[in-house]
Chains A and B, each alone.
Chain A
Amino acid sequence: MPVPPPVPLLQVSDLRTYFHTRSGVYRAVDGVSFEVAAGETLGIVGESGSGKSVTCYSIMGLVPSPPGKIESGTARFDGVDLLHCTPAQARSIRGKRVAMIFQDPMTSLNPYLRIGDQLIEPLVIHGGVAKAEARRRGIAMLEAVGINEADKRLRQYPHEFSGGMRQRVMIAMALITEPELLIADEPTTALDVTVQAQILELIRRMQKARNMAVIFITHDLAVVSGLCDRVQVMYGGRILETGTTRDLFYRPLHPYTRALQKSIPAIQPKGAELYTIAGLPPDLSKPLPGCPFAPRCEFAVERCRAEPVTLVPAEPGHYHACLRVAAGEL
């Protein structure tokens, strides 16, 4: 089991991001703390509305404000708190030392700009690199992510690329400044399985070559299993369980993690009825004093709905937020 070094690359503590809308305050992220070490891959798993994307948007300063507001917390990257530093400090880190790729490669590229111009933009802005040099590095980067005839491809527009190719361009764009941390928000969800396999392989290879840290956000537990060192499960804006990938897959503790695993068709015998989690994800505009999963949990008791959830260790590096597991009742 990889032991995180004393000073992690990114240290998020007690992050709370709320959205103030006319219909109420949505607590999208409600007290989230985690760390990522250099060279490590952290998977963040959760369903839609679990707060996994908003967590990363908060770190990247991409939460639209208003209505969004970071209510509390810190996100220290190499000692600099990204949530409270000066804009100039933030600019020197975001997009350069921390880069992000998004789910939909169809909409995250500018359709009016040539691939080359978009690809080298971060280098020109952050690196102060001359255009000719940036172009040369752009070509090398495109080749590194497996795009042939890079020289010709640089002059093309996004619509001339397939979905998988565009995601490669996005990855090339994110990696061109040689970031120390890559945040990938469902980068393969919109892609075919064969292309997904290519992209995952690419991320794995790039990470090894550069000892880069990766935060990989996904709703697909299967993707996480082959890619991540550690995984944290989010639900209702909170982390319910975190541990090494093996801990989480072979010794899941929290009832939500267990339920999630039981509802994946791949693990269940064919034709058997799939386990379903009754009910719906919580309405985050209503205050949730207790465990966010309690309303759907088959093991929930009275105190689950009342007492605030905190992560407690079960074994070294494996934390969960279930009162009843902690009490040895489950």
Chain B
Amino acid sequence: MSTILELQDVKTHFPVQKGFFRRVNAGSVRAVDGVSFKLERGEVLGLVGESGCGKSTLARTIMHLVPPTDGAVILNGKNLSAATGAELRASRRDLQMVFQDPYASLNPRMTVYGTLSEPLLAHRICPASEVPERVARLMRIVGLAPRFVQKYPHEFSGGQRQRIAIARALALEPKLIVADEPVSALDVSIQAQILNLLAELTRTMNLSLIFIAHDLSVVKHISDRVAVMYLGKIVELGRAEEVIDRPVHPYTRALVSAIPTPDPDRESTRQRIVLAGDPPSPINPPPGCAFHPRCLYAQDRCREIVPPLAPFAGRDVACIRAGEI
């Protein structure tokens, strides 16, 4: 396997300004605050965390919809953060995104044909005469009948729209797709269809996928590896079964224990860790480990030392007490 994507200490900060007449900088929102990982060809990485933890900003940073404040995003050996506009445009062929809400991410005034042919024409993928054939093929890949090609998004259901969005992402034959909560807006029975489709595509097209979701059971099902984010940092990263079935970081443990399971007997007996409070503000994160104010195991040194992501029990964990708890 070869590395398709590498993140080196990526930081994305947004300035916060105060004052109406005289704008002054009042610190910054550290949405992504030092994230590093590697992704192999054909690998599925699940990215989980609560809202506000920076997972969507990380996705946008990888896509360079938001430029990183610091660090490097390296796609196929090329540092996108240092690339020129033209180089970045060329790299976008290899890098595509699927968004959460298929009602908002498709242009309501474009037919399926318009939506799917636009990337083909913009990047001059094939001669214009071959475009209809390509569009039909894309539709078949995602399980839509090519006869719907002249229909508009409002004529489709949520699941079908998400298929169109996936087809659009596949049009340029990318090497990496970033999917930001692609099934959260869908019903259970439709969600299963989209998950099966994504799993099949990564297998058959050797596609890498960054799959962002807040539903851990969905992430576990589809991912090879899982990264858990808290307040802009990865706190645990490892194989999906390891991280979700045997979590080490106190935050991952709480997250796993918070997911309800569809099993009444287990639900009535199992111990729940109910985290108190909300995540702290990323403008003014707590010193030391950002999780310490909500952590059951926090000690004095947790308030001082920023824990590095270090190997432990077959995965990477950012907790200085990983071996003790």
Interface string of B251-290 (1 = CB under 8 A from A): 0001101111111110110001011101000000000000
Interface string of B214-237 (1 = CB under 8 A from A): 111110111000000000000000
Report how far A216 CA is from B276 CA in the complex, Å: 23
Report how far A222 CA is from B274 CA in the complex, Å: 17
A223 close to B260 (CB less than 8 A):
yes
Which residues of the partner chain B approach A223 to less than 8 Å between Cβ atoms?
260
Which residues of the partner chain A approach B130 to less than 8 Å between Cβ atoms?
none
B260 close to A263 (CB less than 8 A):
no
Which residue of B has the minimal Cβ distance to A198? Answer: B274
Residue among B196, B258, B264 making CB contact with A274, cutoff 8 Å: B196
Report how far A267 CA is from B196 CA in the complex, Å: 15
Question: How many residues in A have their beta carbons less than 8 Å from beta carbons of B?
Answer: 44
A196 within 8 A of partner (CB): yes
Report how far A48 CA is from B191 CA in the complex, Å: 12
A162 close to B278 (CB less than 8 A):
yes
Residue among A225, A264, A268, A273 making CB contact with B188, cutoff 8 Å: A264
Which residues of the partner chain A approach B159 to less than 8 Å between Cβ atoms?
280
Which residue of A has the minimal Cβ distance to B187? Answer: A47
Which residues of the partner chain B approach A274 to less than 8 Å between Cβ atoms?
192, 195-196, 221
Report how far A176 CA is from B228 CA in the complex, Å: 38
A200 and B260 contact, Cβ closer than 8 Å, known pairs A219-B187, A277-B189: yes
B272 close to A222 (CB less than 8 A):
no
B262 close to A197 (CB less than 8 A):
no
Which residues of the partner chain B approach A47 to less than 8 Å between Cβ atoms?
187-190
Which residue of A has the minimal Cβ distance to B278? Answer: A162
B177 within 8 A of partner (CB): no
A249 close to B214 (CB less than 8 A):
no
Which residue of B has the minimal Cβ distance to A188? Answer: B260
A209 within 8 A of partner (CB): no
A273 and B51 contact, Cβ closer than 8 Å, known pairs A264-B188, A265-B217: no
Interface range for B = 35 or more
A195 and B263 contact, Cβ closer than 8 Å, known pairs A219-B188, A260-B189: no
Which residue of A has the minimal Cβ distance to B275? Answer: A194
Which residues of the partner chain B approach A276 to less than 8 Å between Cβ atoms?
189, 192-193, 196
B157 within 8 A of partner (CB): yes
Residue among B190, B264, B272 making CB contact with A245, cutoff 8 Å: B264
CB of B255 to closest CB in A, whole Å: 6
Which residues of the partner chain B approach A264 to less than 8 Å between Cβ atoms?
188, 192, 217, 262
B264 close to A246 (CB less than 8 A):
yes
A2 within 8 A of partner (CB): no
CB of B194 to closest CB in A, whole Å: 9
A195 and B260 contact, Cβ closer than 8 Å, known pairs A265-B217, A271-B221: no
A267 close to B262 (CB less than 8 A):
yes
Report how far A222 CA is from B217 CA in the complex, Å: 11
Residue among B221, B264, B272 making CB contact with A201, cutoff 8 Å: B272
Which residues of the partner chain A approach B274 to less than 8 Å between Cβ atoms?
194, 197-198, 201
Report how far A265 CA is from B218 CA in the complex, Å: 6
CB of A280 to closest CB in B, whole Å: 6
A266 within 8 A of partner (CB): yes
Report how far A264 CA is from B260 CA in the complex, Å: 12
CB of B181 to closest CB in A, whole Å: 12
Which residue of B has the minimal Cβ distance to A191? Answer: B51
Report how far A273 CA is from B222 CA in the complex, Å: 10
A288 within 8 A of partner (CB): no
B298 within 8 A of partner (CB): no
B50 within 8 A of partner (CB): yes
A165 close to B278 (CB less than 8 A):
yes
A275 within 8 A of partner (CB): yes
Report how far A76 CA is from B217 CA in the complex, Å: 40
Which residues of the partner chain B approach A194 to less than 8 Å between Cβ atoms?
50, 254-255, 258, 274-275
Q: Which of B214, B218, B260 has the most CB of A within 10 A?
A: B260
A152 within 8 A of partner (CB): no
CB of A71 to closest CB in B, whole Å: 26
Residue among A193, A198, A261, A263 making CB contact with B259, cutoff 8 Å: A193
Report how far A276 CA is from B274 CA in the complex, Å: 33
CB of B230 to closest CB in A, whole Å: 11
A151 within 8 A of partner (CB): no
Report how far A195 CA is from B190 CA in the complex, Å: 25
Which residues of the partner chain A approach B276 to less than 8 Å between Cβ atoms?
198
Which residue of A has the minimal Cβ distance to B245? Answer: A270
Which residues of the partner chain B approach A249 to less than 8 Å between Cβ atoms?
262-264
Give 27 A-B contacts (CB < 8 Å), ordered by A residue. A47-B189, A47-B190, A48-B187, A163-B51, A165-B278, A192-B51, A194-B50, A194-B254, A195-B50, A198-B275, A198-B276, A222-B261, A223-B260, A225-B262, A226-B260, A226-B268, A245-B264, A246-B264, A249-B262, A260-B188, A263-B188, A264-B262, A267-B263, A268-B221, A270-B221, A273-B199, A276-B193
Q: Which residues of A contact B (CB under 8 A)?
A: 47-48, 162-165, 192-198, 200-201, 219-223, 225-226, 245-246, 249-250, 259-261, 263-268, 270-271, 273-277, 280-281
Interface contacts beyond A162-B278, A276-B193: sample of 16 additional A-B pairs, CB < 8 Å, sorted by A: A47-B189, A193-B255, A194-B255, A196-B260, A198-B276, A222-B262, A249-B262, A263-B192, A265-B192, A266-B217, A267-B262, A268-B221, A270-B221, A270-B241, A276-B189, A281-B187
